[in-house]
Structure 1
Amino acid sequence: MWSLHNLILTCTAVSCVTGDAIIPVFGYEGSDAEVPCPYPVGYEDYEKYLCKNDYEYSTDDDVPIRSEGENNKYSIYHDQEPLTFTVSISDLQFDDAGKYWCGVTRTGNDIYTEVKLEVRNDMWVGTPTKIRGSEEGSVSIDCPYESDDVNNLKYVCTGNRHSVCLQQAIITSNNAQDGRFRLTDDKNERVFTVTISRLSLRDSGSYLFGIQRNAGWDGFCAFDLEVKGEMFKLYINSMDF
């Protein structure tokens, strides 16, 4: 059985044929990444693999990764119709980042394409904007975005994990009203606003406002919402003279 160590030798010890394009792949620490590996027509039945440069292993049987192979870290799925095989890398760590090669075994020089994997922290690490509201009242929270994101999907989730935010979204720009949550998008000012009405104490917590992007990382704004009880509302009203 070939190992990833053996495959590294294939890429470094012989001359290989490669395309000009570098495939960018992005993933968050602790989540999964999928590496799409295209190949030329005529090589549908040849062995496929993924290898990584400058990766050290203590034994020769570390992480076998070849056609239809899988283990706890890597798996390969081959779909012949679009001439692409896909390598899944699970439980990403920062040391998984770097240069990889999508390879096709053949007589003579193997065919491969370069891949660059970037890994980022899954948790919001900046300082979130503090927002306060009173029970049964409402708040409106703004998130600005770049001009390139005008037509991109906007979404909101609770918590501070980037990788699951879209899947766990409370509301999106495709579903702009959901119960007490309403999302409006001012494309001229390039800012989207989420209004939460009839606030309750349970609404307190962390929120991420996301902007979906077709390539690379989604953009985010982060907020900490604190909802005060009725006594706070009475105090605020008493300050109005």
Structure 2
Amino acid sequence: MDFCSFTFNFFIWFAALLDGLADLVHSQSAIYTKMEGEDLRVAFSFDVPEGSKKYLRKTNCEEEDTLIETNGNRLHTDRYIIRYNSTQKKVHAVIEALKKSDAVSYTVGYIAASSVGSYEFELKVRDLCDEVVAGEPRVYSAAEGGNVTVRCSLSLHPRCRKFLCREECDKFLIDTNDEIATSDRYKIKYGSRSMFNVTIGRLTESDSGRYRCGVGRNHGKNTCQEFEITVTGGEVSALVVSVTVAVAVLLAVSLVLLLCLVKCKTSHVHYVNTGANGKPREFAPSEDSAAASRREERVYQDLDPHTRDGNLYCVLSV
């Protein structure tokens, strides 16, 4: 092969190599789109030598732009996590509770004594709530230690992202694409295409405040419903219960005493035969007995079938 042929073939090979590298870089470049409050989790393949420095930094390459770095296999500081899986040979990077200010370009990589590696990507952060509507009712009241369930009247598909956040919503209390999900004291349950429920359990006074439940969509606006929760103190509730019980016991005791008093009075009543002038009537027991005997004889005589009123039995037998 002459020099010209060799040179031509070399340039063809070199151009193909550059084209392949360009395709590789293009295929590796990525843009990640997340919502406020979500976590970003990415992983990149690196065969990292033992003891190498793993890092996550903003792409400006300034020293102060380094967000997290470690010579170990895992580190978690503030909202950032860097982790190396030696089995999978992947570097994992995490940014928790995303904010709008996190929407920049990043570099994940490693630095070793004999080699380096890096990967760049861009992050976009969408508004958590493009539209906010007021809930009905606006304020929910509950006692400390109890539960509160709020109906979120929002249009959604069963597999849409459903979430609950508080105040400025810089972090999810719970979020899920499932129809039912539980996290710590929080629960989300899909109801229909027009609503889902969120429940907060084991309430404390510190849970009082403003909340938003919402629906996140890959395309279209994210809609949120705003409401407030007021939690009354447990000591006050216990006092109310104690007073109520005490009053109930007092009323029961009073009723028993009243019944005893009435019974005692009625047991000492004397029945006296009085006359028209209200004075006790006196009569001889023997005379009264005789009069009663005469009345009894007269009754039996009236019922005698042999008396002159002989039609009595006929009338009674009809």
Larger radius of gyration: 2
Of Structure 1 and Structure 2, the greater helix share is in 2
Structure with the larger RCO, 1 or 2 (CA within 8 Å, 6+ apart) = 1
Please give the TM-score of this superposition, normalised by the length of structure 1: 0.49
Of Structure 1 and Structure 2, the greater strand share is in 1
Please give the TM-score of this superposition, normalised by the length of structure 2: 0.40
